[in-house]
Amino acid sequence: MKLGEGVEAAIHCAAMLAGVEGNSTMSGAAMAEAFGLSPSYLLKHLNQLTTAGILESVSGPAGGYRLARPAERITLLDIVLAVEGREPAFRCGEIRQRGPVKLDAKAYVKPCGINAAMLKAERAYRAALAEAKLSDIVADFMNHADPRTVAASCAFVERHQRPQKVQQPSKRER
């Protein structure tokens, strides 16, 4: 099974946004720069994450992206499904029912054993991704990565996060 590069980019961006303080955001351009990606390519995946409710998009001059919910409530499965879609990786085309050795449709009442095995593997794969929380990935990085990498990543986030102004209630709302 091969997942697209967009999955890797989406997971890294979500992990980076987990380090953004409070209500702040980070621009898609900054995240594209951090990972050496085309901003237009990354924007497609950030939009998929936003549509899936993983990220929140904030408009305006200080806008950008932030996590839509706490990192403890985001799994790798959430991100993979947002980018790759919900369809299983293996899609049985019932090729056993084609070609010169095909039989009458009545000969194929039992489900394809290959399809059953592949779907079982898909369920195991998805279960493992559902257990992997974004917060655990970030904590593992912070605790076990080379300290220089951690420092550089934290410094990048600090430099590029965009604090959001807290809106004061109007006189009527007070």
Task: Report the mean per-residue pLDDT for the chain.
Answer: 92
Average pLDDT over residues 1-22: 93
State how far the Cα of 20 lies from the Cα of 115, in Å rounded to an integer. Answer: 43
What is the percent of the chain with per-residue pLDDT over 70, rounded to a whole number? Answer: 94
Q: How confident is the model at residue 105 (pLDDT cuts 50, 70, 90)?
A: confident
Summarised one tens digit per residue, pLDDT across range 61-83 is 889 999 999 999 999 999 999 99
The pTM of the full predicted model, rounded to 2 decimals, is: 0.86
Kind plus residue range of the DSSP H or E element containing 25: strand 25-26
Q: Which domains does the chain have, with CATH numbers?
A: 5-162 (1.10.10.10)
State how far the Cα of 17 lies from the Cα of 15, in Å rounded to an integer. Answer: 5
